[in-house]
Amino acid sequence: MEWENPYHIAVVSFTALGALLSLVVGIIFISCWKTPVVRSSVGPISILLLSSLFITFGSVLLFGGKPKKWQCMARQVLFGLSFTMCISCILVKSFKILMAFEFDPKTQSILKKLYRPCLIIATCMAGQGLICAVWLLGNSPMHKWNNKASESQRLIYCDEKSKPLFGAMLGYIGLLALICLGLAYKGRKLPESYNDAKFITFAMLIFSIAWIIFGPVYVNVTGQYLPAVEMLVILLSAYGILFCLFFTKCYIILFKQKANTESAFRQEIR
């Protein structure tokens, strides 16, 4: 799909907007670092999550234009690793929410033993890194010509080569998303000030629906618009996380400053 294609221009525009919004939200969070909204959102993890979202938006650009060898190898790996980082950060946030409000001593004891943010993120990334390494070293994606088309309309495209490993990469992200969804659903009745659980649920549902639809559409679409399908699903997933987890908090920070105080948060908890 050429850069001059109107559809490609539209997708790239939304990609740039998403990356810009990720930067703006990060600046807002850093400038209001000590406020209750940012602290309740696990500030450092939120910044790491925004950084991985920024990279995810950037990975979309690798799906357009004339395919090159390095581009075919990098695009799926960059998306897979960056979005795995997103989901692992959300997993850490889900654990943190439940630890704060889980009153069952036995469950809370288990959560405290499991809650190791760096270890959780590193373990999730290691699993995806292993899948990507096997894929690249064994049967890496490669650009090739579609010889089935006529000579005047031949298509150069990225061949994923190993469909099982491509599916394993997406399935791994889906498994982490299901775990996040389960933890978030358990914490859905938390105080309104700590309603990340509800928004995590919405974000994971958007992700799940988008990628469930992606499968049959990806199989049936052919030609230059095939990469556009994955570009669109990646954007939808990233925007879902950005809107659900950050925009309501930015609204409180910017326009409801009276609600962004420790006294307001304590009252909500009571």
For tokens 């897979």, name the residue: 80
Contact 137, 106 (CB under 8 A): no
Band (pLDDT 50/70/90 cuts) for residue 26 is very high
Token pair listed for 241 = 């996380």
Of 66-70, 219-223, 228-232, 265-269, minimum mean pLDDT range? 265-269
pLDDT of res. 162: 82
Amino acid identity for residue 270 in this structure: R
**pLDDT band at 241, cuts 50/70/90?**
very high
Asked if 132 and 172 touch (Cβ cutoff 8 Å), the reply is no
Q: State the pLDDT at residue 190.
A: 65
Of the ranges 101-110, 146-155, 171-180, which is most confident?
A: 171-180
Given a contact cutoff of 8 angstroms between Cβ atoms, the answer to whether 233 and 211 are in contact is yes
pLDDT value of position 234: 94
Radius of gyration of the chain (CA): 20
User: Given its phi and psi angles, is residue 65 left (phi above 0), alpha (psi -120 to 50 degrees) or beta?
Assistant: left
- The top-scoring range by mean pLDDT among 97-101, 110-114, 155-159, 185-189 is 155-159
6-269: which CATH number, 1.20.1070.10, 3.40.50.300, 2.60.40.10, 1.20.1440.230? 1.20.1070.10
- Encode 112-151: b = buried (16+ Cβ within 10 Å), e = exposed: eeeeebeebbeebeeebeebbeebbeeebbebeeeeeeee
Give 60-70 pLDDT, tens digit per residue.
999 988 888 88
Residue type, 77: V
Give the range among 34-48, 192-206, 218-232, 241-255 with minimum mean pLDDT. 192-206
- pLDDT for 1 equals 79
Q: What is the per-residue pLDDT across 189-219, written as a single tens digit (0 to 9) for each?
A: 665 555 677 888 889 999 989 988 888 887 7
> What percent of the chain is predicted at pLDDT more than 90?
41
Q: Which of 74-78, 117-121, 202-206, 258-262 has the lowest mean pLDDT?
A: 258-262
Q: Which residue has the higher pLDDT, 38 or 10?
A: 10
What is the reported pLDDT for 183? 83
Share of the chain above pLDDT 70, in %: 89
95: its two tokens: 């654990």
Q: Which amino acid is at 44?
A: P
Length of the chain: 270
pTM of the model: 0.89
CA distance 16 to 242: 14
Q: Which residue reads 């690793």 in tokens? A: 81
- What pLDDT does 148 receive? 62
Question: In the chain, where are the structural domains located?
Answer: 6-269
Give the integer Cα–Cα distance in Å for 20 and 93.
23
